[in-house]
């Protein structure tokens, strides 16, 4: 038996779009096999077919050489297939153990034996170096830990074939390194892994072979060791991609945003932003670097008006906006690409066209006397879909929820950049985007800067902050602890400052 999984000539259609067009994927036992493709290329659809969430229109699946019919995820589990989804499927007020045994509760005389399950989970956790506390509550642990719980859920069910769907999308760089170690260990212990991703660095770090799909079609399967990142990128996008951001030196002018002694509390009532000071000028991109959870989210929400300020002051173009309502801020010149696209960026059950005018629908030409002008709205939306290459099955009529995460992200960016606000807040703007889209978005941010706008970029990807920003502010425990010109910054120096090392602050000040 050469392959543990074979998906042969799989076809899957949705209204207006062929998501998988005759795709073949063959995975060897004990390998990490990457599935690479742009946003909306059909990667998640293909894996959902393998996991029994979708029924293919054509094609066959073989597991360990036997033809199988995977009608639902329980069948997949019985065949030894497990999946860690991009958005975790965990019950937040349950413990780790309760989540893992859900649907498979070990009972004795009609009672659930939590201790017995917790013991098994602890043993698994140690065997694979996962370091998870079986009694911790999900809502109290980090995203990286939650992911490990999802991995344990598969191991607890004796899965041999593990599917990871964009597993690093929400992780910090440190957690990504740890996850890569965990994957290598899983394979050593005899598991086979399919890794869905569009991050080339990670494929190079961990995968043995890689299958590339583009716009729903199979392109090639390559050996990762002998294939360069550039080659992988051009197979994925269909053209050459530049990894370097082309930009002239910034010409900053007047102050657009001024923040003084800002204090903002997080959802648990703790000080997340603690006496923060910051200034951004027109014509510059200011990047904020920091480990997740140091107040970035609360800072952006306070500027955008989504979170109450406890004390301190925020000024936009010389006007005090500290307690101004959101719409007023928008009209004054704030654009916001939020970190959480589902919560703050889109109305998922609205059509794509409607989402494109969320900030402007109440104004002419989009409406008159409170009546929406659909044809004008759709015409505008069509222009943006075209310009930003938003891939959607039914154009402006597409229900936004049905689009891939990366294309939802492009829709938000299109809407916010198109209004060309005085201050563009970009919260992890390229999270979940492929290299081709990232290159395009970076170009757009630089264009806004060159028009004399101020761009505030928050990203957990250090490469991105260093590549796109003109100046970099390092945030630690709710304060800005250092400011460096991007062209002088080194990854090592930023990393030390992000960890709160005082040694390096002196260097930064010198």
SS3 320: strand
pLDDT at 492 over 90: no
Strand partners, 271: 265
pLDDT at 379 over 80: yes
Q: How much is the pLDDT for 1?
A: 63
CB 345 within 8 A of CB 404: no
pLDDT at 498 over 80: yes
Higher pLDDT, 230 or 172: 230
Strand partners, 82: 162
Q: How much is the pLDDT for 491?
A: 86
User: If you average pLDDT over every residue of the chain, what do you get?
Assistant: 91
Structure tokens at 307: 């979170």
| pTM given for the model | 0.76
- For 375, residues 6+ apart whose C-beta sits below 8 A from its C-beta are none
CATH class of 5-237: alpha beta
CB 205 within 8 A of CB 179: no
Q: What average pLDDT does this structure show over 300-328?
A: 96
pLDDT at 509 over 50: no
Higher pLDDT, 385 or 166: 385
3-state secondary structure 50-104: HCCCCCCCEEEEEECCEEECCCCHHHHHHCCEEEECCCCCCCCCCEHHHHHHCCC
pLDDT at 502 over 60: no
User: Other CB atoms closer than 10 Å to residue 140's CB: what's the count?
Assistant: 11
d(CA 152, CA 237): 34
Which long-range contacts link 398-404 to residues 24+ away (Cβ below 8 Å)?
398/16, 398/351, 398/352, 399/348, 399/349, 399/350, 399/351, 399/352, 400/346, 400/347, 400/348, 400/349, 400/350, 400/351, 400/352, 400/355, 401/348, 401/349, 402/14, 403/40, 403/352, 404/39, 404/40, 404/44
Per-residue pLDDT band for 504 (boundaries 50, 70, 90) equals: very low
Per-residue pLDDT band for 332 (boundaries 50, 70, 90) equals: very high
Higher pLDDT, 12 or 40: 12
- What distances in angstroms separate CA 46 from CA 34, 36, 211, one per listed residue? 13, 12, 12
pLDDT at 144 over 80: yes
CATH class of 255-347+422-509: alpha beta
Show me where the domains of the chain are located.
5-237, 255-347+422-509
Q: How much is the pLDDT for 87?
A: 74
Report the share of the chain in percent with pLDDT over 90: 71
3-state secondary structure 191-219: CEEEEEECCHHHHHHHCCEEEEEECCEEE
For the chain, percent helix, then strand, then coil, each to nearest 5?
35, 25, 35
Query: Tens digits of per-residue pLDDT, 408-458?
Result: 999 999 999 999 999 999 999 998 788 888 999 999 999 999 999 999 999
User: Other CB atoms closer than 10 Å to residue 128's CB: what's the count?
Assistant: 19
Q: What average pLDDT does this structure show over 94-118?
A: 85
CB 151 within 8 A of CB 177: no
Per-residue pLDDT band for 507 (boundaries 50, 70, 90) equals: very low
pLDDT at 76 over 50: yes
pLDDT at 43 over 70: yes
pLDDT at 172 over 90: no
Out of 63-77, 161-175, 180-194, 469-483, pick the least confident.
161-175
Per-residue pLDDT band for 15 (boundaries 50, 70, 90) equals: confident
Question: Are the folds of 5-237 and 255-347+422-509 the same?
Answer: yes
CB 459 within 8 A of CB 452: no
Structure tokens at 306: 């989504």
Q: How much is the pLDDT for 139?
A: 86
Q: What average pLDDT does this structure show over 285-300?
A: 93
Per-residue pLDDT band for 310 (boundaries 50, 70, 90) equals: very high
Q: How much is the pLDDT for 508?
A: 41
d(CA 477, CA 471): 20
- For 264, residues 6+ apart whose C-beta sits below 8 A from its C-beta are 271, 272, 273, 295, 298, 299, 301, 302, 307, 308, 309, 310
CB 33 within 8 A of CB 195: yes
């Amino acid at each position: 038996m050469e392959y543990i999984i074979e998906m042969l000539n799989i076809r899957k259609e949705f209204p207006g779009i062929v998501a998988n067009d005759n795709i073949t994927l063959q995975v060897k036992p004990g390998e990490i096999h990457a599935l690479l493709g742009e946003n909306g290329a059909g990667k998640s659809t293909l894996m959902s077919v393998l996991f029994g969430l979708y029924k293919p229109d054509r094609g066959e699946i073989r597991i360990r050489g036997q033809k199988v019919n995977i009608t639902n995820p329980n069948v997949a589990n019985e065949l030894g297939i497990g999946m860690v989804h991009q958005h975790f499927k965990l019950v937040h007020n349950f413990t780790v153990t309760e989540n893992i045994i859900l649907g498979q509760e070990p009972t004795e005389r009609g009672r659930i034996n939590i201790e017995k399950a917790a013991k098994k989970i602890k043993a698994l956790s140690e065997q694979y170096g996962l370091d998870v506390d079986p009694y911790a509550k999900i809502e109290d642990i980090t995203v990286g830990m939650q992911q490990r719980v999802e991995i344990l859920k598969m191991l607890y069910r004796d899965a041999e074939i593990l599917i990871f769907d964009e597993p690093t999308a929400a992780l910090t760089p440190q957690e990504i390194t740890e996850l890569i170690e965990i994957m290598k260990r899983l394979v050593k212990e005899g598991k086979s892994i399919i890794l869905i991703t569009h991050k080339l660095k990670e494929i190079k770090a961990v995968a043995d072979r890689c299958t590339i799909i583009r716009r729903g079609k199979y392109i090639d399967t390559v050996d990762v060791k002998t294939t360069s990142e550039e080659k992988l990128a051009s197979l994925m996008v269909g053209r050459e991609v530049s990894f370097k951001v082309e930009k002239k030196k910034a010409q900053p002018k007047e102050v657009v945003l001024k923040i003084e002694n800002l204090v903002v509390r997080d959802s648990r009532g703790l000080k997340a932003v603690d006496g923060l000071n910051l200034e951004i000028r027109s014509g510059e991109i200011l990047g904020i670097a920091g480990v997740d959870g140091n107040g970035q989210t609360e800072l952006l929400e306070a500027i955008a008006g989504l979170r109450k300020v406890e004390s301190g002051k925020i000024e936009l173009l010389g006007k005090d906006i500290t307690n101004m309502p959101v719409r007023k801020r928008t009209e004054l010149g704030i654009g916001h690409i939020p970190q959480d696209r589902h919560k703050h960026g889109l109305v998922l059950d609205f059509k794509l066209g409607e989402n494109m005018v969320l900030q402007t629908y109440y104004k002419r030409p989009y409406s008159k006397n409170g009546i929406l002008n659909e044809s004008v709205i759709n015409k505008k939306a069509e222009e943006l879909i075209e310009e930003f290459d938003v891939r959607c099955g039914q154009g402006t009529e597409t229900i936004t929820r049905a689009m891939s995460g990366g294309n939802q992200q492009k829709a938000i960016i299109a809407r916010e950049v198109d209004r060309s606000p005085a201050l563009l807040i970009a919260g992890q703007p390229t999270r979940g985007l492929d290299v081709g889209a990232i290159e395009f978005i970076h170009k757009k941010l630089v264009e806004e800067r060159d028009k004399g706008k101020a761009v505030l970029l928050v990203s957990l990807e250090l490469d991105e902050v260093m590549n796109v920003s003109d100046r970099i502010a390092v945030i630690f425990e709710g304060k800005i602890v250092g400011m460096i010109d991007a062209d002088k910054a080194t990854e090592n120096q930023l990393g030390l400052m992000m960890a709160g090392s005082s040694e390096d602050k002196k260097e930064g000040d010198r």
